[in-house]
A and B are shown apart, each in its own frame.
Chain A
Amino acid sequence: MSDLAFLSPGRASAEAMWRSPLERALQGAPPAVSDLSLTGKVEIRGKLPKSVKGGELVRITPNRGLVLCDFTKTVELLEKLSKDLFAIDVSASLAGLSVRGEAVMRRITDLDLDALPAAGAVSHVQAIVTRDGDSFALWFAQEYSDYLAEVVIDAHKGLHR
Chain B
Amino acid sequence: MRLPARPGERLDRNREVTFSLYGKPVRAFEGDTFGSALYASGQRIFSRSFKYHRPRGLLCCSGSCANCMMTVDGVPNVRICAEPVREGAVVRPQNVWGSLEHDVLVATDKLAGPFTPVGFYYRTMIRPRWAWPLYEKFLRNVAGLGKLDKQAGRANRYDIEHRRAEVLVVGGGRAGREAARKHAAAGRQVVLVDEGFVDPLEGVDVISPGRALGIWEGGLVPVDAGRVLYRFRAGKIVVATGTIEQPLVFPGNDLVGVMLPDGVRRLIEDWGIKPAEQAVVVTVDEAGREAAAALEEAGVQLNGVYDLRRERAREIVARGRGGVLRSVEIDGRKISCDLLVMSGGRQPAYSLLAQVGARIEYDPERGVFIPTDIPDGIEAVGSVAGEGLDGAVPAASYNGASGKGKCFVCVCEDVTDKDLKRAIGEGFDSIELAKRYTTVTMGPCQGRLCHVPSIRLYARENEKDEATIGTTTARPPWAPVTLGLLAGRPHEPAQRTSIHHRHKELGARMMWTGTWRRPHSYGDPEGEAKSVHDSVGVIDVSTLGKMIVRGSDAAEFLERLYPNRFGDMKPMRIRYGVLNSDAGRIMDDGTIARLDDETFYVTTTSTGAGAVLEWFEWWNAVWGMDVEIVNVTGALAAVNVAGPRARAVMRSLTGIDLSNEGLSYLDARDAQVAGVPSLILRIGFVGELGYELHFPSPYGEHVWNAILQAGEDFGIRPFGLEPQRILRLEKMHILIGQDTDSESNVLEANMPWIAKLDKDDFVGKWSLEHVQERGLQDLLVGFEMEDGKVPLEGAQVVLEGTRPIGRITSSRWSPELRKAIGMAWVPAEVAEEGKSFLVTVDGGFERATVRLRPFFDPEGERLRS
Report A's interface with B, CB cutoff 8 A: 1-2, 4-9, 11-21, 24, 37, 43, 45, 86, 88, 90-94, 106-107, 109-110, 112, 114, 123-125, 141-147, 151, 154-155, 158
Contacts and interface: CB of A to CB of B under 8 A. Distances in A.
B701 A17 contact: yes
A112 to B, nearest CB: 6
A24 B599 CA distance: 35
A20 B500 contact: no
A50 to B, nearest CB: 22
A118 B628 CA distance: 22
B377 interface: no
A9 B699 contact: yes
A13 B672 contact: yes
Nearest to B598: A1
A90 B702 CA distance: 19
11 contacts: A4-B595, A7-B696, A8-B677, A11-B677, A18-B702, A19-B698, A143-B495, A144-B495, A147-B493, A147-B496, A155-B159
B313 interface: no
Given A12-B699, A45-B628, A5 B670 contact: yes
Counting chain A CB atoms within 10 Å of each CB, the highest count among B164, B496, B628, B634 belongs to: B634
Given A2-B599, A125-B493, A21 B677 contact: no
B494 A146 contact: yes
Contacts of A13: 672, 675-676
Contact of A2 (B493, B595, B634, B701): B595
Contacts of A20: 698
Interface in B504-522: 516
B697 A142 contact: yes
A148 to B, nearest CB: 8
B595 A142 contact: no
Contacts of A12: 675-677, 696, 699
A8 to B, nearest CB: 6
Interface string B303-327: 0000000000000000000000000
Nearest to B572: A2
The 9 closest A-B pairs by CB, nearest first: A13-B675, A110-B162, A93-B635, A9-B696, A92-B696, A16-B675, A2-B595, A143-B495, A6-B679
Nearest to A4: B548
B674 interface: yes
B498 interface: yes
Given A4-B599, A155-B159, A9 B628 contact: no
Band of interface residues on B = 35 or more
Contacts of B159: 107, 155, 158
Contacts of B679: 6
Contacts of B516: 143
Given A7-B636, A16-B702, 14 more contacts: A5-B670, A6-B679, A88-B548, A93-B697, A106-B163, A125-B493, A141-B495, A142-B498, A143-B497, A144-B495, A147-B496, A151-B491, A158-B159, A158-B489
A136 to B, nearest CB: 13
Contacts of A45: 628
A72 to B, nearest CB: 14
Nearest to A140: B634
B161 A19 contact: no
Nearest to B496: A146
A92 B494 contact: no
Contact of B491 (A1, A86, A123): A123
Contact of A154 (B489, B676, B697, B700): B489
Interface of B: 157, 159-164, 231, 233, 489, 491-498, 500-501, 516, 548, 550, 595-599, 628, 630-636, 670, 672, 674-679, 694-702
B70 to A, nearest CB: 26
A110 B233 contact: yes
A158 B596 contact: no
Contacts of B678: 6
A124 B495 contact: no
A20 B162 CA distance: 30
Contacts of B694: 6
Contacts of A1: 596-599
B635 A92 contact: yes
A8 B548 CA distance: 14
A135 B269 CA distance: 47
A15 B493 contact: no
Contacts of A92: 634-636, 696-698
A117 B129 CA distance: 65
Contact of B489 (A88, A145, A151): A151
Contacts of A21: 498, 697-698
A55 B628 CA distance: 23
Given A12-B696, A142-B697, A151-B489, A2 B161 contact: no
A69 to B, nearest CB: 16
A34 B160 CA distance: 23
A9 B231 contact: no
Nearest to B542: A143
Contacts of B496: 143, 145-147
A155 B491 CA distance: 11
Contact of A17 (B501, B634, B699): B699
A21 to B, nearest CB: 6
A5 B671 CA distance: 9
Nearest to A89: B635
A7 B160 CA distance: 38
A73 B492 CA distance: 36
A124 B539 CA distance: 29
Given A4-B595, A144-B493, A19 B675 contact: no
A94 B696 CA distance: 11
Nearest to A114: B164
A123 B162 CA distance: 11
A125 B161 CA distance: 16
B199 to A, nearest CB: 24
A123 B163 CA distance: 15
B633 to A, nearest CB: 8
Contacts of B498: 19, 21, 142-143
Contacts of A144: 493-495
A146 B675 contact: no
A8 B162 contact: no
Contact of A6 (B157, B491, B636): B636
A42 to B, nearest CB: 12
Contacts of B696: 6-9, 12, 91-92
A16 B674 contact: yes
B512 to A, nearest CB: 13
Given A11-B677, A90-B635, A124-B493, A106 B162 contact: yes
A93 B698 contact: no
B809 to A, nearest CB: 29
Nearest to A20: B698
Contacts of B675: 12-16
A12 B697 CA distance: 12
Contacts of B489: 151, 154-155, 158
A4 B599 CA distance: 9
Contacts of A43: 630
A90 B633 CA distance: 10
A16 B699 contact: yes
A13 B677 CA distance: 9
Counting chain A CB atoms within 10 Å of each CB, the highest count among B497, B500, B630 belongs to: B630
A8 B628 CA distance: 18
Contacts of A158: 157, 159, 489
